[in-house]
Chain A
Amino acid sequence: MNLFQSVTSALDNSLAKDPTAVIFGEDVAFGGVFRCTVGLRDKYGKDRVFNTPLCEQGIVGFGIGIAVTGATAIAEIQFADYIFPAFDQIVNEAAKYRYRSGDLFNCGSLTIRSPWGCVGHGALYHSQSPEAFFAHCPGIKVVIPRSPFQAKGLLLSCIEDKNPCIFFEPKILYRAAAEEVPIEPYNIPLSQAEVIQEGSDVTLVAWGTQVHVIREVASMAKEKLGVSCEVIDLRTIIPWDVDTICKSVIKTGRLLISHEAPLTGGFASEISSTVQEECFLNLEAPISRVCGYDTPFPHIFEPFYIPDKWKCYDALRKMINY
């Protein structure tokens, strides 16, 4: 299955297992603009898979309401760039519900799915990676998969998790590749980073599409510099797996974090700050962040804007020679 098919499979499993689960969003009924919900309406009925009008704030607010009564709400925001009208609902309502009611109420059965990240021709409003905005908000979980197998397991975990979750799906990967994905449900735990490749000289951390970039950088480094890299997929942005990253940095002494979102205030800054606190004496070189420029996501400059493998490789080289 490819990524959008694995998402459909996860949603299929959820609707089958949980009779209270509903899927809603803009254009989900016919299958969605990325075909993530194809066939679900026919299988489960129009009461469980339905379209909403064009109103993100309404969609999320509505989802919070469903979740508070205990039903499972799976909302889709058509592009992560459009999530901002719903920002207030997510940050002020969803994230704080349990806290402010002293655990009397919660909207834990809410999951928001949204296509995320650059896609080659998206320009300003179809390419954004807003995970950093949500990382600043205690009370929600933000999860980003890198592949079809990961996507299904992580999405099922998000849906079953008793906290409101935002699941960003890298849209450029929807049809990029196919993997063996089990048809039965399975879970991948949240807040656990995965060490994809072990190494001893540098730790490379990324999430979503960027994981594939740093994997390539790791093999370039091995080939050209004889450097052994440890590649980690963060998977859950908040609450993030501090232990795995720090354990790795203690071993290697060097850390490079990469993401498409702009540098200033991007999630790499949080990782960088925490790692220097925990592993200061183990660091051999300053922590390197290879991120997008501090500009709006450009229209025609995209290939220059994104932190591609050459920029990461260059930063890695400078770190090795520090």
Chain B
Amino acid sequence: MRKMLAAVSRVLSGASQKPASRVLVASRNFANDATFEIKKCDLHRLEEGPPVTTVLTREDGLKYYRMMQTVRRMELKADQLYKQKIIRGFCHLCDGQEACCVGLEAGINPTDHLITAYRAHGFTFTRGLSVREILAELTGRKGGCAKGKGGSMHMYAKNFYGGNGIVGAQVPLGAGIALACKYNGKDEVCLTLYGDGAANQGQIFEAYNMAALWKLPCIFICENNRYGMGTSVERAAASTDYYKRGDFIPGLRVDGMDILCVREATRFAAAYCRSGKGPILLELQTYRYHGHSMSDPGVSYRTREEIQEVRSKSDPIMLLKDRMVNSSLASVEELKEIDVEVRKEIEDAAQFATADPEPPLEELGYHIYSSDPPFEVRGANQWIKLKSVS
């Protein structure tokens, strides 16, 4: 009898508390962390690879989910703005490849360095810039991270060296940054990214040679999204085992759609480099949903079915979400809330990017050289001179 009364009073007191949904969430037990199995990486010249299981904490999981969702929505917003002609020029979107940028960042420290090619919006975000600055740079406004002068392909941040237009040109740069890391002795590494198309450029092999010869702490990363613009990897490369292309440099082939796989591989690679063993090569097998750039519909060299298949089976955000929900690391509602917050953030940023004024005309001549007194820039006719200020 007493037990029954106690039970009834509990129920009654529970019912009178408002709001009921919050009570529900608070009383639900989330796991603090969960262990997941990840795909084994193919190895080249390595005895062992990264671990095949990893622990994901709830906190990390939510953080990665939010970051990936932000990158995804930011890219989709950029797509929208481009179609409205608010963003012009070239725009290379990385939706589908979110696990790469967020996973890589998860495996390194903010003091490490990163350089990539032109599909760089995701990396710009994960390296610390706000969506506002990125979108404003795309629209070419003053508030952009490069003051509106660089555009889509030229975004930079602390320890993030861009954002490079010429294919393959960033790889020797990355090797150079790695040399500086070694020289400064602060145990930093440099992640040097390039794509499957760039993997056939000669300067990449020059960089491999220098990095291996001088044992530079350089992690070469080939983001293999199966198509170099419109050319599939089979038609461009004599060997599509990009992780073996470093030849004398050890390599790993990583599932680039699984953020945990990318994270573990990056941790492994960073530890390898930091121990002074020299460079290492990662091939991230990933996929982009959009075409090469906004001028490419993306369906003339691949089928819509292929894109749909990847979207339904290997979407990185979906994979993480399923894992987290199935092991009680988070609830579906919680993740939906994050989605809503992210959408709002992107909307605000897009508003800013559209409303911000463009840089003033005088800045056309700025920052050509570093010069003490501003010097005059000669131009279209000898009676109009700009000043180059630095």
Complex CA gap A57/B204 in Å reads 13
Contacts of B57 in A (CB 8 A): none
Q: What 0/1 pattern do residues 290 to 316 of A give for CB contact below 8 A with B?
A: 111111101111001111000110110
Query: Is B381 located at the chain interface by the 8 A CB criterion?
Result: yes
- Shortest B153–chain A CB gap in Å is 7
- Are B379 and A291 neighbours in the complex by a CB distance under 8 Å? yes
What is the CA–CA distance of A216 and B157 in the complex, to the nearest angstrom?
Answer: 45
Q: Which of A225-248 contact B (CB under 8 A)?
A: none
- In this complex, the interface size class of chain A, counting residues with CB under 8 Å from chain B, is 35 or more
Residues of A participating in the B interface, judged by any CB pair closer than 8 Å: 26-27, 30, 51, 53-55, 57-58, 81-82, 84-85, 121-126, 263-264, 288-296, 298-301, 304-307, 311-312, 314-315, 318
Q: In the bound complex, do residue A55 and residue B89 qualify as a contact, i.e. CB atoms below 8 Å apart?
A: no
Q: Enumerate chain B residues within 8 angstroms of A291, measured Cβ to Cβ.
A: 379-380
Query: Which residues of A sit under 8 angstroms from B365, Cβ to Cβ?
Result: 293, 295
- How long is the Cα–Cα vector from A298 to B88 in the complex, in angstroms? 13
Do the beta carbons of B380 and A292 come within 8 Å of each other? yes
Q: Which of A30, A122, A126, A288 contacts B381 (CB 8 A)?
A: A288
Q: B380 and A307: CB pair below 8 A?
A: yes
Checking B153, B166, B197, B361 against A301 with a beta-carbon cut-off of 8 angstroms, the contacting residue is B361
Given A30-B230, A51-B235, A293-B377: A298 and B201 interface contact (C-beta under 8 Å): no
Q: Can you give 17 contacting A-B residue pairs, CB < 8 Å?
A: A26-B231, A30-B300, A53-B197, A53-B228, A55-B202, A85-B201, A123-B89, A125-B153, A126-B90, A291-B379, A291-B380, A292-B379, A293-B379, A294-B378, A298-B364, A311-B384, A315-B381
Q: Is the CB of A125 within 8 A of B378?
A: no
- Report whether over half of chain B's contact residues are helix, strand or loop; otherwise say mixed: loop
Q: Does B374 contact A (CB under 8 A)?
A: no
> Which residues 113-159 in B have Cβ within 8 Å of A in the complex?
140, 148-151, 153-154
Please report the C-alpha to C-alpha distance between residue A126 and residue B91 in the assembled complex, in whole angstroms. Answer: 13
Q: Known: A54-B236, A122-B89. Is A299-B361 also a contact (CB below 8 A)?
A: no
A298-B149, A298-B364 are known; give 11 further A-B pairs, CB within 8 A: A30-B300, A53-B231, A57-B202, A85-B203, A263-B380, A291-B380, A293-B379, A295-B365, A299-B154, A305-B379, A315-B383
CA distance A291 to B378 in the complex (A): 9
- Nearest-CB residue, chain A, relative to B300: A30
Instruction: Answer whether A305 and B364 are a contact pair too, CB < 8 Å, given A54-B201, A85-B203.
Output: yes
In the complex, the answer to whether A54 meets B364 with C-beta atoms within 8 Å is no
Residues of A contacting B228 with CB < 8 Å?
Answer: 53-54
A residues within 8 A CB of B165?
124-125
| B-chain residues with CB within 8 Å of residue A292 when the two chains form the complex | 379-380
| Minimal Cβ-Cβ distance residue in A for B203 | A85
Residues of B contacting A84 in the complex (Cβ-Cβ under 8 angstroms): 166
- Which residue of B148, B200, B236, B386 contacts A299 across the interface (Cβ within 8 Å)? B148
A55 in contact with B379 (CB, 8 Å): no
- Which of under 10, 10 to 19, 20 to 34, or 35 or more describes the interface residues of B? 35 or more
Contact residues in B for A263 (Cβ distance below 8 Å): 378-380
- Name which of A125, A305, A306 has the most chain B CB atoms within 10 A of its CB: A125
Residues of A within 8 A of B88 (CB): 121
Closest to A78 in B: B229
Task: Confirm or deny: B167 has a beta carbon within 8 angstroms of a beta carbon on chain A.
Answer: yes
Q: Which residues of chain B come closer than 8 Å to A300, judged between CB atoms?
A: 140, 148-149, 151, 358-359
With A123-B89, A263-B378, A294-B379: A301-B364 Cβ-Cβ less than 8 Å: yes
Q: Is A318 within 8 A of B202, CB to CB?
A: no
CA distance A184 to B299 in the complex (A): 36
A300 to B86, CA, bound (A): 12
B358 lies within 8 A of A293 (CB): no
> Of residues 199 to 215 in B, which have CB atoms within 8 Å of A's CB atoms?
200-203
**In the complex, how many angstroms separate the beta carbon of B26 from the nearest chain A beta carbon?**
50
CA distance A289 to B368 in the complex (A): 21
Say whether B78 faces chain A, with CB atoms less than 8 Å apart.
no
Say yes or no: A51 contacts B381, CB within 8 Å: no
CB interface residues, B 351-390, toward A, < 8 Å? 358-359, 361, 363-365, 368, 377-384, 386, 388
Instruction: Please encode chain B, from 176 to 205, with 1 for each CB lying within 8 Å of some chain A CB and 0 for all others.
Output: 000000000000000000000110111100
Q: Inside 8 A of B166's CB, which chain A residues have their CB?
A: 81-82, 84, 125
Supposing A30-B230, A125-B166, A311-B381 touch, asked if A53 and B149 sit within 8 A by C-beta, the answer is no
Interchain nearest-CB distance for B200 vs A (Å): 4
Instruction: Encode B312-330 as 1/0 by CB contact (under 8 A) with A.
Output: 0000000000000000000
Which residues of chain B have C-beta atoms less than 8 A from A294's C-beta? 368, 377-379
Q: Which residues of B contact A296 (CB under 8 A)?
A: 368
CA of A125 to CA of B293 in the docked complex: distance in angstroms?
14
Asked if B298 is at the interface (CB within 8 A of a chain A CB), the reply is: no
User: What chain B residues lie within 8 Å of A57 (beta carbons)?
Assistant: 202
Give the residue name and chain of the B residue nearest to A82 (CB): B166
Give B211-255 as 1s and 0s: 1 = Cβ < 8 Å from A's Cβ atoms. Answer: 000000000000000001111000111000000000000000000
Q: CB of B168 within 8 A of chain A?
A: yes
**How far apart are the CA atoms of A53 and B363 in the complex, in Å?**
38
Chain B residues near A58: list those with CB within 8 A: 202
B361 and A264 contacting across the interface, CB-CB below 8 Å: no
Residue of A nearest to B384 (CB): A311
Whether A295 pairs with B378 at a CB distance below 8 angstroms is no
Of listed B153, B167, B197, B383, residue having the most chain A CB within 10 A: B167
Chain A proximity of B126: nearest CB distance (Å): 23
